[in-house]
Amino acid sequence: MGNIIAFDLGASSGRAMLGRLVDGKIEITELHRFSNDPVQVGDRLHWDILRLYHEIKQGLLIAKNQGIEVDSIGIDSWAVDFGFIGSNGELIGNPYHYRDRHTEHMMEKLFAQLPASEIFGRTGIQFLQFNTIFQLFALKQANSPWLQEGNRFLMIPDLLRYFLTGEMHNEFSNATTTQLYNPVQGGWDKELLQQLGLPESWFGEVLQPGSKAGMLQPSVCDELGISSIPVYAVAEHDTGSAVAAVPATDRSFAYLSCGTWSLMGTEVQEPVINDMAQQLNFTNEGGVEGTYRLLKNIMGLWILQESRREWEKAGKKYSFPELVQMAGAAKPFAAFIDPDHPMFLAPGDMPARIAQYCAETGQQAPETDGEIVRCILESLALKYRFVFEMTERLSGQAFNGLHMVGGGINNTLLCQWSANAIGKPVWAGPSEGSAIGNMAVQWIAQGVFADIWEARQAIRDSFPVVEYKPEEQDQWGQAYDRFVQLTGLLT
Ligand code: LFR
């Protein structure tokens, strides 16, 4: 019954995924996969937004050529990044990548003007140097012409939707990640915008996930030779879509969306905005059906992806399964890093940065590539325990296990080590979390599912979930004590 397409754009690749419901079960097929290569121009790191738009149209064309009639589409991507539309209705410039260095030191600079506690109190969003608020502040400091010429502010999926439909809307889950949205007032925070000198007129009405956000415009239909179809605003922040797809049965659940980033937390009905949340630097990102994700960003598999890129430059080409095998064969618990140290944020030579981190913390640096991979994966698993326990403390809940979704679950060693580190079972699946959550919201909008819990039931019935039981508890417990000491996390 019905065909829908979820366009899911990740930090390294994008996909057009076809979703169908057959006898109440969800079936997904990859129609199109394309790379998403950031482009460095001089000092600036950009997204290749027009290429992404081209690939979305390719996805529609592939569906057409396969004779698939598509009922609707939705787009999700990473958060925080944006572009400006000028008075002629065209995009100004190429959006910056959130890993661009122009936001370095912008947090401290802005806090001198506007206290962190006020920003957190108004938005409930964790402080990350790449949040939209700091990107806009950096553009102001640099006197960017975008700010003079821009008429409308659109985030990445908003922009792509605009190219497809000709309609400009800001979607809720992504809007919250700007750190300019006030979840208590339920709209853009006008005072915050004013204090930052950002015109209110840039920011449009905020659409909830599941709203119809337009139809494919005639020029797109003509170009592709297809009929017009509805475009839905889904949870356009990929993490929002991934969490929508968590096949939980218990309404109180902990999740880890595992990909380039590791996003760990729980779903709450109301944002948790208090001193403890600010101190622990947790966020309250908007989700589906008025929920919030009380979570924390963990640097994730990015450090491994960048290491792999570095090794490739040196002529050593490893597949991900090879990397996992190398880690498995290396000596356990030899060295640890805090994956969230700012030194690991920007693209670059991660093995060298790991060596530097070890030197600074009095540890012997891992030497072989296998030892480096082991150091990254063990450190991630140990950081998961740290954040898991914080989530429990902050939400006042005790979780009986951890749901892992996203491509990172294909790394079975990481799943097992995560269970070992937290001392509770890990339930891994589905790996296509964001795409499935994107589809779920489209089906809810079409009335196929009554709500997100009915959709989660269908997801549970449709995709395998693998359970990993905790093992080697003594060794992991001891390793954790050393990890928190070495990384200085408790100080
Ligand atoms: C994951 C993610 C995170 C967000 C980061 C930057 O893909 O969307 O949730 O913090 O990318 O946008």
Ligand 1 geometric centre to CA of 26 (Å): 26
Q: Of 360, 369, 286, 365, nearest to 325 (Cα)? A: 369
* Helix locations, 150-203, DSSP H: 156-165, 172-176, 190-196
Q: What is the pLDDT of residue 405?
A: 98
Q: Which atom of ligand 1 lies at the shortest distance from residue 238's CA?
A: 8
**ipTM over the 0.90 cut-off:** yes
Tell me the C-alpha distance between 295 and 263, whole Å: 7
The residue with tokens 């890129």 is 309
Q: Decide whether 3-233 matches 240-429+465-490 in CATH topology.
A: yes
Q: Provide CATH code, domain 3-233.
A: 3.30.420.40
Q: Is 240-429+465-490 in CATH node 3.30.420.40?
A: yes
pLDDT per residue of the chain (491 residues) written in tens, 0 to 9: 689 999 999 999 999 999 999 999 999 999 999 999 999 999 999 999 999 999 999 999 999 999 999 999 999 999 999 999 999 999 999 999 999 999 999 999 999 999 999 999 999 999 999 999 999 999 999 999 999 999 999 999 999 999 999 999 999 999 999 999 999 999 999 999 999 999 999 999 999 999 999 999 999 999 999 999 999 999 999 999 999 999 999 999 999 999 999 999 999 999 999 999 999 999 999 999 999 999 999 999 999 999 999 999 999 999 999 999 999 999 999 999 999 999 999 999 999 999 999 999 999 999 999 999 999 999 999 999 999 999 999 999 999 999 999 999 999 999 999 999 999 999 999 999 999 999 999 999 999 999 999 999 999 999 999 999 999 999 999 999 999 999 998 76
Which long-range contacts link 34-39 to residues 24+ away (Cβ below 8 Å)? 34/58, 36/9, 36/10, 36/11, 36/12, 38/97, 38/99, 38/347, 39/94
Indicate if 238 belongs to the active site.
Answer: yes
Q: What is the pLDDT of residue 4?
A: 98
Ligand 1 geometric centre to CA of 78 (Å): 5
Contact (Cβ atoms closer than 8 angstroms) between residue 304 and residue 349: no
* Ligand 1 within 6 A of CB of 98: yes
The pTM for the full model equals 0.98
User: Exactly one of 238, 338, 340, 369 is catalytic; which is it?
Assistant: 238
Ligand 1 geometric centre to CA of 303 (Å): 15
Tell me the C-alpha distance between 331 and 374, whole Å: 8
Q: What is the pLDDT of residue 184?
A: 97
Ligand 1 atom 9, closest CA: 239
The residue with tokens 């003007």 is 113
Q: Which atom of ligand 1 lies at the shortest distance from residue 285's CA?
A: 9
Q: What is the pLDDT of residue 179?
A: 98
Q: Where are the domains of the chain?
A: 3-233, 240-429+465-490
Q: Of 335, 323, 428, 337, nearest to 370 (Cα)? A: 323
Ligand 1 atom 7, closest CA: 78
* Helix locations, 259-313, DSSP H: 275-279, 302-313
* Ligand 1 within 6 A of CB of 133: no
Q: What is the pLDDT of residue 1?
A: 62
